[in-house]
Structure 1
Amino acid sequence: MRHGEAESSASSDAARRLTPSGAQSVITRIQHNAERLSSVNRVIHSPYLRTIQTAESVAHGLNLTAMVDSSLWTPDADPLAALESLADHIDSTPLIVTHMPLISYVEALCCEGAIAYPRSFSCAEIAEIKVEWPAAGLGSLVRRF
């Protein structure tokens, strides 16, 4: 999931907060897709404020307590390292809250095996990917919503 719409400036990129409409769009997306997301049992997010706020809304909307903060999911992180880190969560169904361009690179790497043609994500957009093991080319995109 890409974080909700964030303010355009702050003291640092990591300190950018969700806008009121960004926060509401996350809540609405989770409410409208709660059944689809019913198997999610963990939220992984970057340490940036906008992803923390998004992750908290997701956790609240899905009644989850398991949240994991990971610097492997920041905007400029290594897509392969981020994807491979999911092996630590193979016993769960995580929802990852992260940023552009990383989210598009990880989706392309996981589902296509390469980052040649990443697709952009809109704010609060979720990609559902089915994967037996988190590695390049082993995922299958189920849907985006």
Structure 2
Amino acid sequence: MNLILWRHAEAEDTASSDLARQLTSRGRKQAQAGAKWLRARLDDDTVILVSPATRTVQTVEALTDQYRVVREIAPDASASDVLGAVGWPDGIAPTVVVVGHQPTLGHTAARLIGKSGDSWSIKKGGIWWIESRTRGTDMEVEATLRAAISPDLI
């Protein structure tokens, strides 16, 4: 499976609640850049899972209106929550995009690629594309990094 971790774009610092924080004008530009990059690479059967936070919904809406809001990947979710929601390593679809938050996405990337409990920094609007593959006679599942890109490089 292909697992794409897309951190929400830049959001305002304060709002009535954390879930209500909206994208800034810079964040909207970041979301558009990330969406353009993804649009050229995603298949039609891609499943997109989004945190219930306003800033994640606004980020994904730059790409599509076809997504599922998943409470299990809200702010402060765990890497295990994300991996359970996407069905890693076999996947609920061949490609799953998760639009979420730090440090959860950084924990997920570190767990899969680095096999560690660390949290790696994923910039706002950043996209990390991780692929599962089976290797060796023991059929061990590995995670490989296909791409890591920040919106200022698109």
Instruction: Report if TM-score (shorter chain) is over 0.5.
Output: yes
Letter in 1 for 2:82: A
Label 1:32 to 1:84 Cα distance change in 2 as closer, same or farther (>3 A): closer
Corresponding residue of 1:128: 129
Question: C-alpha separation between the residues in 2 aligned to 1:83 and 1:113?
Answer: 14
Question: C-alpha separation between the residues in 2 aligned to 1:38 and 1:84?
Answer: 22
Task: Tell me, yes or no, if structure 1 residue 77 matches structure 2 residue 64.
Answer: no
Question: C-alpha separation between the residues in 2 aligned to 1:46 and 1:128?
Answer: 18
Corresponding residue of 1:9: 14
Residue 144 of structure 1, CA deviation: 0.4
Please, which runs of 5 or more residues in structure 1 have no aligned partner? none
Residue 75 of structure 1, CA deviation: 2.1
Secondary structure in 2 matching 1:59: coil
Label 1:32 to 1:70 Cα distance change in 2 as closer, same or farther (>3 A): closer
Question: C-alpha separation between the residues in 1 aligned to 2:45 and 2:11?
Answer: 24
Computed over aligned residues only, the root mean square deviation of the Cα atoms, in angstroms, reads 2.1
Question: C-alpha separation between the residues in 2 aligned to 1:29 and 1:85?
Answer: 22
Q: Where has structure 1 moved over 2 Å in runs of 4 or more?
A: 32-40, 88-92
The size of the alignment, in residue pairs, is 136
Residue 93 of structure 1, CA deviation: 1.1
Residue 138 of structure 1, CA deviation: 3.2
Q: Does the Cα contact within 8 Å between 2:31 and 2:60 map onto a contact in 1?
A: no
Letter in 1 for 2:59: T
Corresponding residue of 1:119: 120
TM-score normalised per structure 1: 0.82
Secondary structure in 2 matching 1:26: helix
Q: Does the Cα contact within 8 Å between 1:43 and 1:59 map onto a contact in 2?
A: no
Q: Does the Cα contact within 8 Å between 2:30 and 2:125 map onto a contact in 1?
A: yes
Relative to its length, the structure with more strand (as a share) is 2
Residue 32 of structure 1, CA deviation: 3.8
Aligned partner (choices 83, 86, 103) of residue 101 of structure 1? 103
Question: C-alpha separation between the residues in 1 aligned to 2:34 and 2:78?
Answer: 27
Identity of aligned residues (%): 27
Relative to its length, the structure with more helix (as a share) is 1
Give the greater-gyration-radius structure (CA). 2
Letter in 1 for 2:19: A
TM-score normalised per structure 2: 0.78
Please, which runs of 5 or more residues in structure 2 have no aligned partner? 1-5, 135-140, 150-154
Secondary structure in 1 matching 2:97: strand
